[in-house]
Structure 1
């Protein structure tokens, strides 16, 4: 059986795709047969008659995944809004059954799969006629999560709220990663300590701005993945 982990964030534009790419890159450079999947993506760039899922392409490029990015995502929307609204505008509603089937197809090809969410953890994927939230994807795929957060001011509140939301929906948080971390910053170092104290969840890595690699023990990283 393969193993998976779900990467979510405390909000949009925190660096979730960037961190996801570095994780997949580390796994693959460590001779781990690792792949990637994303359920829904909005704000895709149009090239001729096709849409390019930018997040998926970025991960493929950074991690040297020689695959078509379009094959790694179930729903691609051009409109740069929340997936639930983009799906209404474009007439292509999200179906959980499709996501589960696509994920199973991906995980059958890899030993480890990193699944990237959309926006923050409270992200609606479908609301008009029935409700599908990002948490429903996480629980349907039976995955634990890693939370990506900014190291900046305000992150304590955002991380604690994200952790509490996950716990309230029986989602297991395996670790927290701080992005744009400055090891010389007293604020960033204090944020890390307070987050760990308040959540009892370890900050498993601190990633500096524009780093090319993520510092985390490969065996420790692999131990965070859950059999699917």
Structure 2
């Protein structure tokens, strides 16, 4: 597929490398311009571009930027052909994104994103930590392969999202429509807990929407407190352990 990826943070960079290595034609852009994209990000064959060029003549546009930055590219995304599938990897963290009243009042994040963009989206790769995405992909059929929930209102778009998740080394799990994608938001049992496909349905079902914000904020506080002490710098799986303890 021809894929345009916006964002070169930890998630975006891994998606660029993994999807281009899987044989897709990938263009990548960020807010700082193509000259800021390092050689490692492009090492598996992706091409650096500006935002408009990265989203020109693509089958799939993957938006891997902070949720609060999505309105900045909304006009460009809204102008994409109706046939272009839009994938969003973002999550709402008030300390980073600022307080968004609609989300504080319980609006599902994916529906808010779709409203801002003026386009429906596929929600994918939002429920896995950047370190797990970068290093824990496995071949299909491996008993330890991690699953990633994929939500979308269009069955066809959801299948495309699941296929691309598979190409990054994880099992794509059908999480249904955007209306229920709150089940994969921060604070939910499946969020950054590195579950396998056999565990995912139960985790999605166990989510309690009213408890997500408190669990999300508690996990952030615990992780930031630990990371703030250089003498007890956590290992790469610390976040997974914390999320399992708090969200389960």
**Greater relative contact order structure (CA < 8 Å, 6+ sep):** 1
TM-score by length of 2: 0.37
Q: Which protein has the bigger helix share?
A: 2
Q: Which protein has the bigger strand share?
A: 1
